[in-house]
Amino acid sequence: MRVSKEQAAKNRERVVDVAGQLFRERGFDGVGIDAVMAQAGLTHGGFYKSFASKDELIAEACQAAGVRSVEDWIGHAANSSDPFVDLVTRYLSPAHCRNRKDGCVFAALATDVGRRDRPVRAAFAERLKAFSTHVARLMPGRSAARRREGALAAVATMIGAIAMARAADDEEFAAEVLAAARATLLGKDGASAPGLQG
């Protein structure tokens, strides 16, 4: 029954990872401790020797999934010839839309996190800031301030578009939203972006 300290640490990590996946699929309130522990291959009674509460797990899962999300999206883009195009195209793809479990935690849980307590929101916000900072570096634009501004808006557009596409029961509408967000962020359709005044 008892395992080594090393194994116990790995088990704890697996619980956090598995929780991050299940939360993205079903939401924080849609997943019980027993489901998380079962998915990690443990029984639910042992949970409270590793975590003070479910909220602590939620905060850690947001932190860990956030780190992973930033690494994945930014890492892949950085190895591409056109990082910003790579990021936007992959992020706003039907494949990402379908894959909630391993997809971006920000797009999966944005409105849910807004209702959680401070530690959860702090963990989420910290990773969201890191993501935005990395996106600003990939971003075309004259000044750092403009890249920062553009990055924050681009992140909002990407998160909002994926959330909309997943919410809609209509595949065609979902695809249209993703295409519109891609075109607008990448300026595919002409000299000036839609939404510009004057």
Interacting residue ranges for DNA, rule: CB under 7 A:
1-8, 11-12, 31-35, 37, 42-50, 53-55
> Exactly one of 3, 27, 53, 75 binds its own copies (CB under 8 A); which one?
27
- The item of DNA, its own copies, none sharing an interface with residue 184, based on CB under 5 to 8 Å by kind, is its own copies
Q: Which stretch binds its own copies (CB under 8 A): 7-15, 45-53, 67-75, 110-118?
A: 110-118
| Buried residues in 108-117 as b, exposed as e (16+ CB within 10 A) | bbbebbeebe
- Note whether 54 binds its own copies by CB under 8 A: no
> Exactly one of 30, 41, 75, 94 binds its own copies (CB under 8 A); which one?
30
What is the rounded distance in angstroms from the CA atom of residue 137 to the CA atom of residue 140? Answer: 8
| Long-range contacts formed by 165-168: CB under 8 A, 24+ apart | 165/97, 166/97, 166/100, 166/107
Q: Which of 8, 151, 123 is nearest to 61 (CA)?
A: 123
Least distance (Å) between residue 5 CB and its own copies: 33
Least distance (Å) between residue 13 CB and its own copies: 24
